[in-house]
Amino acid sequence: MAEGFALTEATYYILLSLIKPLHGYGIMQKTEELSGGRVRLAAGTLYGALSALCEKGWILLLPTDSDSRRKEYRLTEKGLAVLRTEVARLRELADNGERVLQEV
């Protein structure tokens, strides 16, 4: 992950939801749950993002039975590193904001 790079909220919550393997609909539900209902992913948005995240190597499509339509995804080590970097970036933003606001 490049220095100064910020994830979109959708990407952040998708990665966060994949701490444990999930299928597409489960990712949509978990993202909404984790964001308190603020982030709601449409199917088209989700599957476009999943494809892009697979290409980056941040998530992995798990093997499925040939007759199954359900696709499950999981976070890769690279994706976990990206997620940890983003959490640290967000924590720094919040800490800086709190420090400045205490002066007001």
Give residue for tokens 């798990």.
62
Query: What tens digit of pLDDT does each residue of 35-73 get?
Result: 999 999 999 999 999 999 999 999 999 988 777 778 899
CA separation for the pair 33, 60 (Å, rounded): 22
Query: What tens digit of pLDDT does each residue of 71-85 get?
Result: 899 999 999 999 999
List the beta bridge partners of residue 22.
Answer: 73
The answer, yes or no, to whether residue 3 has pLDDT greater than 60, is no
Reported confidence tier of residue 4, pLDDT bands at 50, 70, 90: low
The one-letter code for the residue type at 19 is I
Full set of structural domains in the chain with CATH: 9-102 (1.10.10.10)
Determine the 3-state secondary structure of 104 from DSSP. coil
